[in-house]
Structure formats: C-alpha cells, structure tokens
Amino acid sequence: MLNSKQRAYLMSMASKEHAIFQVGKASLTPELISSVDAALEKRELVKISVLKNCFDDPREIAETMAERTRSQVVQVIGKKIILFRVSKKKPVIELPK
C-alpha cells in the first residue's frame, strides 16, 4: 500500500507524462486490460484518459483496472487515472520511504 509521500512522488512523476491509453465507449475490454498490464510491467507508472463517450465512472474504472492488473490506483482526477505497480523483472522507480 502506498503512503501519502509515495503517492505525492508518483503524482509529480505522472504530471509530466501524457496518457498512453484511452478508455472509450467500449469501456474495459480484455485487450485494454492486457495492454495496460504489459505497460505496467515495463513502465511501472501508467496514465490513462477516460474519453467523454465512456459513460462509466472513472473511479470505478480505476478500481476495476487496478484489481485486474494487480496494481494500485495512485490518483483519479476528473477523467485521468494514474496506476502504479512495481515491475517483477526490473524495477525502475525508487519510492521514498
């Protein structure tokens, strides 16, 4: 579980990044989940944008996606979701204690 210092650190890192995935009207598809899972393994920190044509709640989408990818929700602001998971093969991000 992330503490507030770690969460703030990850949010500052994610603020510089662009969303690499978009959730549209099809919402959470198995293909999207597996792509996000692969990106988390490689990058550890992923930013996702929920498009206007998606009628599901971004918080619910974030929780479901975190559960299916075994990651943690760092933040949900408006229609932006930030997920984090430590890479099994080669961890990149060093979290503050």
pLDDT tens digits along 13-50: 999 889 999 999 988 999 999 999 999 999 999 999 99
Residues 51 and 9: their CA atoms lie apart, in Å, by: 26
Which domains, and CATH codes, for the chain?
Answer: 4-84 (3.30.110.60)
Residue 59 has pLDDT above 90, yes or no: yes
Residues 48 and 65: their CA atoms lie apart, in Å, by: 10
Sheet holding 45-50, edge to edge: 21-23, 45-50, 80-84, 72-77
Residue 62 has pLDDT above 90, yes or no: yes
How much is the pLDDT for 33?
A: 94
* pLDDT band, very low/low/confident/very high, at 66 (cuts 50, 70, 90): very high
